[in-house]
Amino acid sequence: MAERDPLTESLTLLSERAGDVTGLVYTRLFAAHPELEDLFLMDTDGGVRGSMLSQALECLMNLADGPGTMAETVIRSERINHDTYDVPIGMFEVFFDIIRDVTRDTLGPAWTPDMDTAWKNTLAKTDSLSAFSLAT
């Protein structure tokens, strides 16, 4: 069986060590960008935040582990949806970076150079996936 890619390995270790990281991720996001917290006022039970994070994690693993076809479709179309939620340009990058930072900080010495490289390569891919352009 093929070895797991280092990014997925790091996320597996993250969930083993920290369990549900929803709180950690959004605390960091709102500390860095307090203006974003109001966007989630309607999310009273945290369901949107949870499913948004799991979608982002699925995309990262999908890109790290192969051609990333699912991630490409999701990220390109979510960029369009998020424009209608008034999410400023550049915030997808901020969100993915925060997931990486939470993972790296939680792993501490278990964070390897291979993981670092895999995250760099994968985040470069998420950056390159712009919104679908609507051909006229």
Per CB under 6 A, residues contacting ligand HEM are: 29, 36, 39-40, 48, 51-52, 55-56, 59, 74-75, 78, 82, 85, 87, 91-92, 94-95
Q: Minimum CB separation from ligand HEM for residue 37, in Å?
A: 9
Q: How far is the CB of 121 from ligand HEM (least distance, A)?
A: 17
Whole-number Å distance between alpha carbons of 89 and 86: 9
Looking at the Cβ atoms of 80 and 110, the one nearer to ligand HEM is 80
55 neighbors 47 (Cβ within 8 angstroms): no
40's tokens: 């989630």
Interior CA angle at 17 toward 16 and 21, to 5°?
Answer: 90
In the bound complex, what is the minimum distance in angstroms from residue 1's beta carbon to ligand HEM?
Answer: 28
Contact 76, 132 (CB under 8 A): yes
Tokens of 103: 């993972």
Residue 109 Cβ, how far from ligand HEM at the closest point, in Å? Answer: 28
Closer residue to ligand HEM (CB): 3 or 45: 45
